[in-house]
Structure 1
Amino acid sequence: MSSGPVPRDADVFSDARFPVPFDDSNWISFDPDAGEGLVSDADEAFEYEYCLCLNEGFQEPELSLRAWADDEITDVQLNGTSLSYSGDGSHTSDPIEETYTDPALFQAGDNCLTITVADNEGVVSGLNLAGRARALNADCDCEAQEPCDLSLSKETKGQFHYGQQGTYVFQVCNDQDEECTGPLTVEDALHDGFTFVDVSGDWTATTGGGVVELTNDTYGGLAPGECLTFEMTVDVAAVDEFPGGSDSVINCAELFHDGAFVTEDCVRHGITEGGEDCTLSIEKTTGGEFHYGQQGTYAFEVCSDPDLNDEECTAPLTIEDDLPDGISFVSVSGNWTASVSGGVVEATNDSYGGLAPGECLDMKMTVQVADEDEFSGDPDATQNCGILRYDGDVTTEDCVTHSVSRGDE
């Protein structure tokens, strides 16, 4: 109960002037003296507050109450919304008896019922309330576990293009000194023009009304300083279908632990037409002479144009190399990963961290040259070309011509 802005604990009191309380309930008031309830000035009003908790995802909520007071009840609110009721709830008349089931009145987390009691005569003020709250998938013990001290970061992986897929990267970290357990939920209200595709890791997704709810209750706990990283892929509408015609969006995500809100993070990023937002060059050279039966090296340099690019190039890079007859793939250097099919090498790098304007990225490819009697190419003019793809789109290419000779020549 509170008088004005000062909260006070309520006390049970008994007074023969009051009716017998409802079963399993008591008359309560603020009792500073001898157990006779609060004596106050006339025309004061006092608020009595009762709070309960509902889990995230609760269904079919119901609140039933019976209440009367000295002198009368002037307002009943749930989460700040005034509720309708019949009668005045005076202890000299019939009690208020109501049931509320409108889901819009309830919320996940704390739900607080506030009853305002008017003390018209300045003698004693008190309230007798009996009630029941219930819902499907409800947990009425909000204090069972405080939310862990967690942080959330949300970033983009590469660039977003109209009519293509884009990727968001999330990281949830435990910033406290103890292990964090309990279900984690990330809610992401996607911008208009985006639709959910999938999520990586052990996260399960539900969607509705453009909101994606990602839940993980099988991660096994986060040790202090430990993080969970996962990716969410979305479809981006075509440029002529994208609502609002905006080329920049803000997307936010909220983190919940065990149903309780913890924090949020937002990312602003652009949307462009694929392949037109990053101008790159590729130069291919040999790393020395090529001899029959020995290994040789091709060197590649990928650069971001300093005059045409204003921002970093961050999308995945792919170099496609159709090796000449008589030359086979061995390995690539650095953070490039390679696959080979039919003599075509596809080397991809999606972890290079971005290329600022004027910055370059190197790759070396080691190959095996066939023995002289097995070499089927032109030893005097062996040509080899590398095609550069940026975010899957062909950007440019470069070729090198070299000879193949005996090692003793």
Structure 2
Amino acid sequence: MYDFANSGYTTVVITAVFSAYFVGGLAKGAHWATLAWTSALSLSYAIVMLSMPALGAWADLHAGKKRLLMLATIGCVVGTALLAWTPRLSGTEAVIAAMLFIVVSNTFYSYGESLIASFLPELATAQGMGKVSGWGWSFGYVGGMLALGISLGYVLWSQAQGLPASHFVPVCMLITAGIYAVAAAVTFSLLPERAQPRVDRGIGAWQQLRSTWQGARRYRDFVWLLACTVCYQGGVAVAITLAAIYAEQVIGFKPQETMVLIFVLNLAAAGGAFTFGYVQDRLGHRLALSITLVAWMAVCLIAASVTTKGGFWVAAAIAGLAMGSSQSAGRAMVGVLAPPLQMAEFFGLWSFATRLAAIIGPLAYGLVTWATHGNQRVAILATTVLFIAGLLLLLPIDMKRGRAAAIEKSPA
């Protein structure tokens, strides 16, 4: 249910609606607009990258994953609702306010994503991690489609009434915040905090985190996975944060067409996550993730070369299947390689990697676009390098060896 709750944020705010409105509406399509958008996201990811591992260690020591998750949810819901206020401003004020609220909402969203993932190993065995992660991720895309579908209906009605984007974009933000709050309440009602506090050990969160870093050689397969994650998630972050901007600025999609595109992309992603979870458990985690990375390379090549809306639809369909499966596969691999007593901490390290990736990918895209005087085709083609690097870093990982290291000192 939490996957269902928070997916509307990425779908409506980051991917389909507010990103394109920020560039084309608030910033009036200025040449620096894409870089400003990616910079705001990068700042939020830097905050998460530097703070989430320590927060995860604290949550493990104090059995506080659920408490932190509640705070993260409130922060994201409030930050998303505040985005509805930005169209009332004008010029530089509107851009600065939007960047501030994106930093706030995306930081808390990222905290929540990491904390909810740390519950996964409590709900599935190592052999079933892929399918359970796939269930959650696929149901999450259903939540994203619900938020986007309601928003799309309101957008179409508003346009029929002759209302501008400055009217319907704020309503979309409020719809997204409301669905997030209501659906997350189910999680807080039904999901227990099974962990027990370990504060009697006399060790703090930072000391625990430093100890984990120092002993990282014992978890070398997990470290390889983090390096792989930094690369391929950087490419995925480009797709999530810039798909709508690319569709409208390069291919020529209209806002309502972009929303339909993202809706179908989420439908494909839900199917990919659900189906590929079973495939992952059967084929093995490393091979399954490798297949998705090859699919992502194809997406970049197709998107960079097509000039028609139909051609871009093909790229979007493949991206949807690859997105759901690659996101779910990575989360499941962390669940297998993380020590049972340090779940939140290790998922915090995973958040460090994914947020570093989310800085590198979109910011590199924005810089390439700026350096090439707005040529986003070159930028999307350059993104292929991230998936190639991720595939190469995936090769040294041995899941059996990594799982043995994870459970070596854990109680039965």
TM-score range, shorter chain: under 0.3
Greater share of strand residues, 1 or 2?
1
Larger-gyration structure (1/2): 1
Greater share of helix residues, 1 or 2?
2
Give the TM-score normalised by structure 1.
0.18
Give the TM-score normalised by structure 2.
0.18
